[in-house]
Chain A
C-alpha cells in the first residue's frame, strides 16, 4: 500500500498536486463533519426534545389503567418520532425509551440496549452496551411518579453513518469532486507549460553538450533550478578541461622521449654495418614503433572522451574519408594493398573532425594491416535513411562471429591474429567511442566469403 502510494506520487508532479489537493479538500470536509458529529453526540435535538417527553408522559399517565393500550400508544409515538428523524432501526439505532413508575417498568422499547439504566433527572449518563456508546436522559413527570428515560446512541460512528445514510453531507462532496478535480488538473497543466517547454529544449541537446542552459524568458522557479544545473555543468566542464590539459601534458612528456629514442636508433642504424647489429637495432625500432602507437592510440582514446563536449561542426564525410584514404595510401602501397573508394558525394554530418579522422584512420589501418598482399580495401560511403553509412571491407582473415562484440573492448585482441600482427588493441575501441559520440553505431560482418566488413552508421546533417 505504502509502496503503491509512493510510486503514485513519485511518478508525476501532476498526480502529486492533485492528490494534495484532494487530500486537503477531504481533510477540510472531514473537519467539518467531525464538528457536526461532535455536536451530534450531545444530540440535544432528540434528547432534549422536551415536548416528546411530555407527550409520552401524558400518554403513560392517561392510559395507566390499560397497560396494553398504553404500550401501543407509546410505541406509535416512538415510531413517529423516529420516522421524523429519519432513522431506520434495523441499520442504525435511534432513540428508544423506558417509561416506569414506582411499580416498575410500564414500557420499554424493544430496541433499548441491554444495560440501559435511568439516571437522576437532569443528568446525561454515558454507558456502553454492545460495543457502542449510549447516552440516557431521564425526565420526571411533574404530576405523577412516571419517569421517562430516553436513550440515544452516543457513538460518533453511528451518528456519522446515520448522517451519511441521509446523504446530506457526503453526497455534495461526491457530486462536487469532479468539478473540483477537473479545474485543478487543467490549471496544473497550464502552469506546467514552461516545464514542458524546458524539457523539450533540453531534449534537443546532444549527450555531450555541456554549454549552460539559457535562462531568459523562463519562470522564476525554473530559473533557480536552471542556475543550479548550470553550476553543475560548469563544474563538469572544468573537470573535462583539466583532464584535457593533463592529456596534453602527458602527450608531450611521453612523445618527446619516444621520438628521441627513435631518431637516435635510426641514426645509429645508418652507421651500423654488421647485419647482427642491424637486427638488434631493428628490434629496438619496432619496439619503439609499438610503444609509439600505443601511446598515440591511448591519447586518441582519452582525447575522444575529453573533447566530447566540443562544438560540432558541419563536415563533408565523403571528403574526409577520401582525404584519409589518400593519407594512408602510402602505408597501403608499402604493403601492396590496393585502396578503392565508392559511393555518394556531398554527405554532410555534424561532428568533430578529429574524432572522425581517428575513426576512419583506425578502420582503414586495420583493413590494410590484415589484408593479404595484393589484397583490396574498399571504402564505400553512402546516404541511407536519415544517416550516412561507411562500409570498409577487406580480404583479410575476418573476425569470428563470437568475437565480434569483444573486439571492441579496450586491449582485447583476436587471439588468432595477435601473434602475426602487432597492434594496440585500442583501434576499434576508439572507433566505437567516436561513433557513439556522434550518435552512431558500428557493426562487424563478414565481407563475402572472406574478410571483414565494418559498417559505421552516423546521423546525417544535410
Chain B
C-alpha cells in the first residue's frame, strides 16, 4: 500500500475557508501542502519546485484554472491534476478531463472522498505507471504483464490480464460490464455479454474465488479489503 505521507501537493484554491481546511486536513495526514490563491503564484511555485499532485480550483481571481492545466499539458508535464470545482455540469467535467485533468471532484465533497482520489492519483503517479500494482496478495507487474498470486505465477490470457488490470486500477469501484467489454474485449462487440461472462469465469478460476465481486447485470469490482460477508 502506498504511503501518502510526504507527498508534495500544490493546492490552488482562492476560497480562504476551504483552502485552509484542505491544507490542515491534508497536512494532518502527513502530506506536504503548499497553498496558493492565485494562478500567478501557482505558476511561480511550479517553476521553483516539483509537485506530486496539483489540487486545482477553476474559478480563480486572476483567471481560469483550465488555462493553467492546458499550459501544463502543452509542456508535457505529467504531474497528476485533480480539479476541485463547484461546476458540476457534465460538460464542465468532460472539458476538465479532456484538457488533461486526471480527476474531477465537485464541491462540496467529503474529506474521505478527497483522500481516496488523492490516493488513487498517487498510486497512478508513482505507484503504478510502469510499475507494479498490489492488492490482496495479487501483484501485477505492468511492463512484463506478469501476475503473481501469493508469489505463484498465474497464467492469464491477454483478455484476462486486461480485465484484472482494469479492476485493480479501479479498486473499490464497480466497473461496468460495458466499459470492461469495450476496454478488455474490443473484438467482441455484439453479443459480448456472454463472452465477458466466460472470460470472467476463467479469470476467477485462476485468481481464486472471492476476489472479484459481481454486481449482477451491472459490473464487477475488486475490493481493497475483503468484505466480511
Contacts and interface: CB of A to CB of B under 8 A. Distances in A.
Chain A interface size range: 35 or more
Interface in A188-205: none
A340 B215 contact: yes
A267 interface: yes
B13 to A, nearest CB: 9
Interface string A9-48: 0000000000000000000000000000000000000000
A342 interface: yes
A296 interface: yes
A263 B88 contact: no
B28 A271 contact: yes
Contact of B25 (A251, A270, A319): A270
Contacts of B16: 260
Contact of B215 (A292, A326, A345, A353): A326
Contacts of B119: none
A301 interface: no
Chain B interface size range: 35 or more
A262 interface: yes
Interface string A342-383: 110100000001100100000000000000000000010000
B90 to A, nearest CB: 5
B95 interface: no
A260 B173 contact: no
A343 B177 CA distance: 14
A323 B107 contact: no
A288 B106 CA distance: 15
Max chain A C-beta neighbours (<10 A), residue from B84, B108, B172: B108
A257 interface: yes
Interface stretch (B154-162, B200-208, B217-225): B217-225
Interface in A250-283: 251-252, 255-264, 266-267, 270-271
A341 interface: yes
B89 interface: yes
A180 interface: no
B15 A303 contact: no
Contacts of B173: 326, 329-330
B218 A341 contact: yes
B226 to A, nearest CB: 13
B17 A264 contact: yes
27 contacts: A251-B88, A252-B87, A256-B15, A257-B15, A257-B17, A259-B15, A259-B107, A261-B108, A262-B21, A262-B109, A262-B110, A263-B18, A263-B22, A270-B25, A322-B176, A322-B177, A323-B176, A325-B174, A325-B219, A326-B219, A329-B218, A340-B216, A340-B217, A341-B218, A343-B217, A353-B90, A357-B90
